[in-house]
A and B are shown apart, each in its own frame.
Chain A
Amino acid sequence: MANNINDAWKSTCKIILGSEIGDLKDYEQFLKRYIEPVRKNKSLISSKDVYYGAPYCQNAKFVSMDEIEQMKVEPLGADEIKDIDSLINAASERIQYAGNKLGGKIQDVAGSENCSDAFFVIDSLDVYTSEYIAYCQMQKNDKYMFGCCWCTDNNFCINSSEMEYANRQFESTLSMNTSDAYYSYNCNGCQEVMFCFNRRSTRYAIGNNQLEKGKYLALKEKLLNEIVDELKKKKTVPSLIEVATGKVR
């Protein structure tokens, strides 16, 4: 079990890519590729950072969820509800949007919003019953997820989305009951697939070609080494879309 989110990142890289590639913070931009940003403002009460995900207008008043008890609101006067202009102005002057909405059991959650029963989470939105999550959005029952969004019941994934019961995914989308998938899309019930699209119950395949196990693993190792080298040098690699549309040179 990792002691912190950075250790979790290193473990996840080793499991998925076969090698560590450095610290989590160096890959922030790469990992934010698919998610909506976590927004930030200052609390009206304490000036502390208030994190939120909804598109509240920037110049509004904000309050941290744990400060709501201290919130002061001027009672409405009779003059303020006599017509539509006074009503909306009165409401507008009073409204305070709440951020830092964290509930249930929480530990080591930072820069995140709308998390519940979450442990070791940074810069993420909508995280439920999950642990070791960074730069993610809408995660439920997930562990060791980095740069992922809209996932349920998955483990050890990087820059992947729309998954359920998936393990060890890298730049993959729409994976159900699939493990060890890289740059793949819409693969269900698959294991050890790279660059595969629209497949069911496929194993040891690259580009939708089913290969002999030894040949697959040899080519997988070679391609992963290339990906790891590029990540270490540039702190990013081409996205699933860039690979799929022939844009990698």
Chain B
Amino acid sequence: MTGKGIEKAFQDTTKMIFGKALSGLDNYEEWLTTRVTKGRLRGSSTSKKNVYVPTYGMFRFIPDDRVADLGSFMQLSALNIPIEEADTLASISKKMPTLATFIIEFEEGTNLDVESSSIYKNLVNAYKIVDCFYSKHIAYSFFSDHCEHAFGISKCFNCNFSIDVHDSRDIIRSFEVDFSKNCADVMFCHNCDNVRESMFCFNEKNLRYAIANTVVGREEYTKVKAILVDYMLEQLERTHKLDLDIYNVGCWKKL
């Protein structure tokens, strides 16, 4: 369940992007984690705590009954198995289950109000994140540093007041962005650099008030943006998700 702090941050962010605040961050979890490497909440095998187990790399293969929280370290570190000269890979493997418990949590620096997360440093107000450092007001995100008011982002640096941004840096007030940098107030943009107040742009630099790489001017852009935002808000408020995203817009077909 999300705390009040992260809920407010989500409302502030959606108000900034869509002009209207969306409430009930929990309801949007499935949508926000569609394209993000998320975790799975599991009980620690050594205490009553819950552990947020990442689902990437080697972590995704760890059995649920073999995870442990960071507080169990001293206890687990003291375990050992008898070793003999005649041991083989198979004989050692047979003894390993008494020793092999995977501590998933990694925490460093000063952290405040971080819930259901793993691998982090210097975070304030974070929820269900994996591998995020030096950030605040961030939820459902992965491998991102120096971000603020960010939801559903992955592999980003310095992204603020943004939702569903991936492989990007220096992004602000943006939505559904991939592999871009130095952009502000953009939606559904891919591989853009220094693009502002634009939508559906790709492989472009230095644009403003553009739609699908065509500069349309401020008045026309504002009109079209209102149409798009109305469409998205209606779907989000009704279903808590949006079917369109930056990865599928390239072959979008109306049902």
Enumerate chain A interface residues (CB-CB to B < 8 A): 34-36, 54-61, 63, 65, 68, 71, 73, 75-76, 81, 83-85, 87-92, 94-98, 101, 114, 126, 137-138, 149-150, 161-162, 173-174, 185-186, 195, 197-200, 206-209, 211, 215, 218-219, 223, 226-227, 230, 237-249
Contacts of B23 in A (CB 8 A): none
A119 to B99 Cα, complex, angstroms: 40
B110 interfacial contact with A, CB 8 Å: no
A243 engages B83 (CB within 8 Å): no
How many residues in B have their beta carbons less than 8 Å from beta carbons of A?
Answer: 67
B203 engages A198 (CB within 8 Å): no
B79 engages A208 (CB within 8 Å): yes
A138 to chain B: closest residue by CB = B143
Which 10 A/B pairs are nearest by Cβ-Cβ distance? A60-B250, A244-B100, A91-B200, A248-B93, A208-B80, A207-B81, A76-B214, A92-B252, A57-B251, A59-B251
B179 engages A207 (CB within 8 Å): no
B81 to chain A: closest residue by CB = A207
6 examples of A-B residue contacts, CB within 8 angstroms: A89-B254, A208-B77, A209-B83, A241-B63, A246-B93, A247-B93
A85 to chain B: closest residue by CB = B254
A88 to chain B: closest residue by CB = B252
Q: Smallest CB–CB gap between A78 and chain B, Å?
A: 9
Enumerate chain B interface residues (CB-CB to A < 8 A): 35, 56-58, 61-63, 66, 73, 76-77, 79-83, 85, 87-90, 92-97, 99-103, 106, 131, 143, 155, 166-167, 178-179, 188, 190-191, 199-200, 202-203, 211-214, 216, 220, 224, 227-228, 230-231, 244, 247-254
Q: A56-B250, A98-B202, A207-B99 are in contact. List 19 more A-B contacts (CB 8 A).
A: A35-B57, A59-B251, A75-B214, A88-B252, A96-B203, A126-B155, A150-B57, A150-B131, A174-B106, A186-B102, A197-B99, A197-B102, A206-B92, A207-B92, A207-B96, A230-B89, A243-B89, A244-B96, A245-B66
The answer, among B57, B97, B179, B251, for a CB contact under 8 Å with A101, is B179
Contacts of A195 in B (CB 8 A): 81, 92, 96, 99
A89 engages B216 (CB within 8 Å): no
A36 to B143 Cα, complex, angstroms: 15
Q: Smallest CB–CB gap between B168 and chain A, Å?
A: 11
B203 engages A71 (CB within 8 Å): yes
B94 to chain A: closest residue by CB = A246
A207 engages B251 (CB within 8 Å): no
The answer, among A61, A68, A84, A240, for a CB contact under 8 Å with B227, is A84
A54 to B165 Cα, complex, angstroms: 12
Known: A76-B211, A97-B190, A219-B87. A197 touches B101 (CB 8 A): yes
B89 engages A197 (CB within 8 Å): no
Contacts of A219 in B (CB 8 A): 83, 85, 87
A198 engages B103 (CB within 8 Å): yes
The answer, among B35, B90, B214, for a CB contact under 8 Å with A249, is B90
> Which residue of A55, A63, A186 has the most chain B CB atoms within 10 A of its CB atom?
A186
